[in-house]
Structure 1
């Protein structure tokens, strides 16, 4: 879980002192028990986010006996920290897909994500879910004249693929722009209120859900794969679905070199003006994402997001929130900023998620990852592909999203860049000269320090208690960096994150940072 605090204190800039998600504050997810004994089921699902829960829902409704295992609490990770745009407009992706793949693949990508929206709408109607769902047009706008050509190419791709929308000179939101690409008939919702409403349906269909149950590995020997928890309990299944964000099980290291983690930031802003509707994303850097959020109790909040960067490789993280605050003050009548939070997601080499068999040799172990910050539709689509694979049904999009695919143009280039970046940070952390000592760390401050000539991580809480950890990531040995905005230790190589006391917040790391006792 993320290091958070429920206090409502603000810093000098008017930003909340501690991260807090609007989605979590305005929803309640039914608590589930911890796994207490060995089990045998048809399908074991690892990960209690939108992909895992929707996979459990589809399969349990089809009569399959499922057990879902979540290391923390349901819906506490990326699903709770998204901007929750339910859209197939995933930045300027369609022109890129046509160039790097072909028109057929680009068309399939659009259709898969568009069908995901239709499926969500059908579930909302079937279960009468109150989740702030509303249809909205989605816009990508140009902040500079130089970007117009990119928008025009994307609009041309829309025309080729038959996507409703295209280039427009103006848009409803009053922010400076030089045209936009609009995709008609998209949507937004409250992700936790939506997904939480499906949990009772899973249980009623005979599904099992367990929280606070961390999975350590998968045992492949024997007639069926078996999930092993950190407490030594075993869940044997015909299939295992890995929906845990970063694939925790990667026996031969096939995915560490094909994924990188990125963080982005969101402010929840109360404004004194009427919102004109629509969902917005800037085509230029730094990114600016804007939408209105609503909860079932009638609460409304303007979400201003962006400032993405690779995990563990940014500047002082509170500065990203400050940049979003400055943008909000310039363009909206800001009355208060009661919420701020950040999200982390994984990006593949070719921007298409990996969904399907872990390897051809392991057809009973499947995964879903690499949603590239567009998980609200990509995760829904992934759950369909995974369920169809288990049920041995054809899926029109399985080949496009297959983890075994390879496309030379984007894959080779991006793999070289990505692995060079990992190597750079692996070396840099080992040779960095640290001059700070634990005595230099003030209250509610953290940073890298030197203890007996060795690198260490220090955080001192409000009471003065000092926490010291070894900064070597327990995944593959990179050195973690302090994230001031979230009060966490983040790995710049593969995106693992740890709380200030060393406990794992996000994988692929499974073990906490080693604690250090100050002599």
Structure 2
């Protein structure tokens, strides 16, 4: 399983940090948001260090569909209604500027990353509700938008909202160029932040002292302060790259939960769908379902790549960008991009670099993590709280007396073994791999992901391979059985 981006670009390998250091700015996370922030700060002369738990761009960034767009489903009418026109304007202007900023960097550094200006569409197969309100709001906020009912897709739509002058690119080719200029340590995982002393501790007990710390780890690993674990959940979606499909002449997303998204890259069509909460794929079949859709729409197509991705979903649909908490003035966060990671990464870099430099940024208010308002987000918070509570309780209740022998080769599941609840995977040869079912983050019960042979946390989205090795956070440790 490899994305089309991973197969197109190789990064310079970086050393692991082995001694204590100090710097003006430490960026934790070597994905799009972290590297853009580091790039902007280094460009104005600050000493910046980036640490990455694995390798540069090896996390969510390599699995994006890489749409650079201010069109984020039907969001602007909702923003204006809930936050007022001024803040809706901030969101729109920040994301429109992000598109232009990507182009500026590409042109300035002459980056060959297949950057293309394309329209972006949100469409519906059966509804027109809210499209007119969204169109009128978008136009009022300065976005070049239009309502259409004819699109270049292999089926008819009821309605579509088109945003002009959006963009798409190859994110890894872009990052390779800007990362070559940065001071980066790979395989250097941060596991703790001493918030009183602006000190970061790595898993190898190395200390990094920094005047300013940026947490750009996709999902923040520091639980307190900030409490991001009650503000977000994570979702997974699945992607196929098809040969012999069609040129859809733009980027498309369906407003339906399980609708289909499209975009082209060179001679490939990227087809994505099947959004689900992380930890909810015990039976598998997501790729097969997507392949069925591809076969029905493009019977002569051939699958070239397949992969999945993961997104942090906030309570109100807006990223958290700014001070990590009110009590940590020199620690910053960029998270909760709600499936729009490219523009949100650039918005993060623009806002955080200004904040660190002591400059006012006119867009920061709408993205501020301190905006957290339960009155606007009570329904989503309730759903997330129920899901988290359910998976905490699952660790403490009895399950049927099922033994390892009941797990078939090539399958995984939770069983009782020697009076303990364990996760078991048997490979095709019958070799057994056991892990604890408790997530190393906050102890939620992990669930088996049959498509990817991983143990996933439905509470906060941490993931581990079938041997118990950490894949992604907010957890920082493995889940191997003692």
Report Cα offsets for 1:59-80 as digits up to 9, x if no partner. 1111111110000011011101
Q: Secondary structure at the match of 1:136?
A: strand
Residue 373 in 1 paired to residue 345 in 2?
no
Residue 150 in 1 paired to residue 130 in 2?
yes
Query: Which residue does the alignment assign to 1:205?
Result: none
Alpha-carbon distance in structure 1 between the residues aligned to 2:230 and 2:355: 25
**Aligned 1:288-307 pairs, distance under 5 A:** 288-294=260-266, 300-307=267-274
**Aligned 1:159-170 pairs, distance under 5 A:** 159-170=139-150
Answer with 442-451 or 40-49: which moved more.
442-451
Aligned equivalent of 2:258, options 261, 286, 305: 286
Residue 447 (structure 1) shift: 1.9
Change (3 A) 1:126 1:159: closer
Alpha-carbon distance in structure 2 between the residues aligned to 1:154 and 1:58: 33
Query: Which residue does the alignment assign to 2:239?
Result: 266
Residue 435 (structure 1) shift: 4.9
**Aligned 1:301-320 pairs, distance under 5 A:** 301-314=268-281, 316-317=283-284, 319-320=285-286
Query: Which residue does the alignment assign to 2:191?
Result: 216
Alpha-carbon distance in structure 1 between the residues aligned to 2:402 and 2:120: 47
Alpha-carbon distance in structure 2 between the residues aligned to 1:302 and 1:432: 47
Residue 389 in 1 paired to residue 362 in 2?
no
Residue 109 in 1 paired to residue 109 in 2?
no
Query: Which residue does the alignment assign to 1:185?
Result: 165
Residue 347 (structure 1) shift: 1.2
Contact 1:434 1:448 in 2 (8 A): no
Report Cα offsets for 1:274-329 as digits up to 9, x if no partner. 414111111123121111123xxxxx321110211111124523x22222212211
Query: Which residue does the alignment assign to 1:403?
Result: 369
Alpha-carbon distance in structure 2 between the residues aligned to 1:276 and 1:400: 33
Q: How many residues align?
A: 482
Q: Secondary structure at the match of 1:83?
A: coil
Alpha-carbon distance in structure 1 between the residues aligned to 2:331 and 2:304: 42
Change (3 A) 1:253 1:185: closer
Answer with 481-490 or 332-341: which moved more.
332-341
CA RMSD of aligned residues (A): 1.6
Residue 498 (structure 1) shift: 0.7
**Aligned 1:35-50 pairs, distance under 5 A:** 35-50=17-32
Residue 130 in 1 paired to residue 96 in 2?
no
Aligned equivalent of 1:96, options 71, 78, 82: 78
Residue 253 (structure 1) shift: 5.7
Query: Which residue does the alignment assign to 2:322?
Result: 356
Q: Secondary structure at the match of 2:361?
A: coil
Residue 441 in 1 paired to residue 425 in 2?
no
Q: Which runs of 5+ in 2 are unaligned?
A: none
Aligned equivalent of 1:33, options 12, 15, 19: 15
Residue 325 in 1 paired to residue 291 in 2?
yes
Residue 514 (structure 1) shift: 2.8
Change (3 A) 1:463 1:127: farther
Alpha-carbon distance in structure 1 between the residues aligned to 2:188 and 2:299: 45
Q: Which runs of 5+ in 1 are unaligned?
A: 1-18, 203-207, 295-299
Query: Which residue does the alignment assign to 2:249?
Result: 277
Contact 1:142 1:151 in 2 (8 A): no
Alpha-carbon distance in structure 2 between the residues aligned to 1:248 and 1:291: 32
Query: Which residue does the alignment assign to 2:63?
Result: 81
Report Cα offsets for 1:137-181 as digits up to 9, x if no partner. 11111111xx21132222222233232122111112232311211
Residue 470 (structure 1) shift: 0.8
- State the TM-score, normalizing by the size of structure 1: 0.90
- State the TM-score, normalizing by the size of structure 2: 0.96
Query: Which residue does the alignment assign to 2:178?
Result: 198
Change (3 A) 1:408 1:215: closer
Change (3 A) 1:364 1:152: same
Query: Which residue does the alignment assign to 1:235?
Result: 208
Residue 437 (structure 1) shift: 2.5
Change (3 A) 1:286 1:220: closer
Contact 1:502 1:512 in 2 (8 A): yes
Residue 462 (structure 1) shift: 4.1
Contact 1:434 1:455 in 2 (8 A): no
Residue 429 (structure 1) shift: 4.9
Report Cα offsets for 1:11-38 as digits up to 9, x if no partner. xxxxxxxx22111111111111100111
Alpha-carbon distance in structure 2 between the residues aligned to 1:229 and 1:218: 9
Query: Which residue does the alignment assign to 2:217?
Result: 244
Alpha-carbon distance in structure 2 between the residues aligned to 1:157 and 1:461: 53
Alpha-carbon distance in structure 1 between the residues aligned to 2:12 and 2:32: 15
Residue 132 (structure 1) shift: 1.3
